[in-house]
Amino acid sequence: MSRPAEEIHVQIFSCGGTIDKVYFDAKSEYEVGEPQIATIFRTANVTFAYSIESLFRKDSLEMQVEDRALIRQRIEACSGRYVLLTHGTDTMPETACALGGIPDKVIVLTGSMTPARFQVSDAEFNIGCAVGALWSQPPGVYIAMNGRVFSGLNVRKNREAGRFEELA
């Protein structure tokens, strides 16, 4: 299905997480750096319009209720229909639940288990899957990870297996 050009704009909000981490030594000391999604989109030569706003640079384990409230506020305030949120994987389901009920928007959260700066990373694959979910899903909140699109309200991270799964 072809979409009018004015509809094809993605608002991206970056929150940090592993996808944007920069490691400095073998002891795994890190900081969350600049959003990597702009580099990934340039490399992939995407053909739709997008805007990127960095909300904060945090590991998702450091996120608080106030952070999720800010994310919700910024998503509600944006005029676009398509919202992509890069986010740390550890608390992605909690943020998805905090975004439930926002009308008329397709909101997709994604991230990675390894930093986008690494030569081998799941970041590009997950972002590509998330973009596909933006175009194919009805309004709602979703998590795109591990080659799957999950309802944001019915998913968990299985830390032992290193993947996301639907809740039973």
pLDDT in tens, the chain (168 residues): 555 545 579 999 988 777 665 655 555 665 666 777 888 888 888 889 999 999 988 877 888 999 999 999 999 999 999 999 998 888 899 999 999 999 999 999 998 876 666 666 777 888 899 999 999 999 999 999 989 999 999 998 888 888 888 987
60 annotated to bind ligand: yes
Asked if residues 32 and 16 have their Cβ atoms less than 8 Å apart, the reply is yes
For the record, the structure tokens of 157 come out as 């991270």
* pLDDT at residue 118, as a whole number: 67
Q: Is 12 exposed, middle or buried (0-12, 13-18, 19+ CB in 10 A)?
A: buried
Helix (H) or strand (E) holding 126: helix 123-136
Looking at residue 120, its pLDDT comes to 65
Return the sign of the alpha-carbon dihedral for residues 86, 89, 94, 97. Answer: positive
Catalytic residue list contains 18: yes
pLDDT of residue 114: 67
Distance CA 56, CA 11 (A): 15
Residue 123 φ then ψ, to 5°: -60, -50
Q: Which domains are assigned to the chain?
A: 5-166 (3.40.50.1170)
Structure tokens at 59: 């590991």
Q: What is the dihedral of CA 54, 76, 93, 1, to 10 degrees?
A: -100
Of 18, 86, 95, 110, which one is the catalytic site residue? 18
pLDDT of the residue at 131: 93
* Residue 91 is labelled as binding a ligand: no
Annotated binding residue at 2?
A: no
Distances in Å between the Cα of 48 and the Cα atoms of 34, 78, 87, 131 are 22, 17, 21, 10
The pLDDT of residue 162 = 83
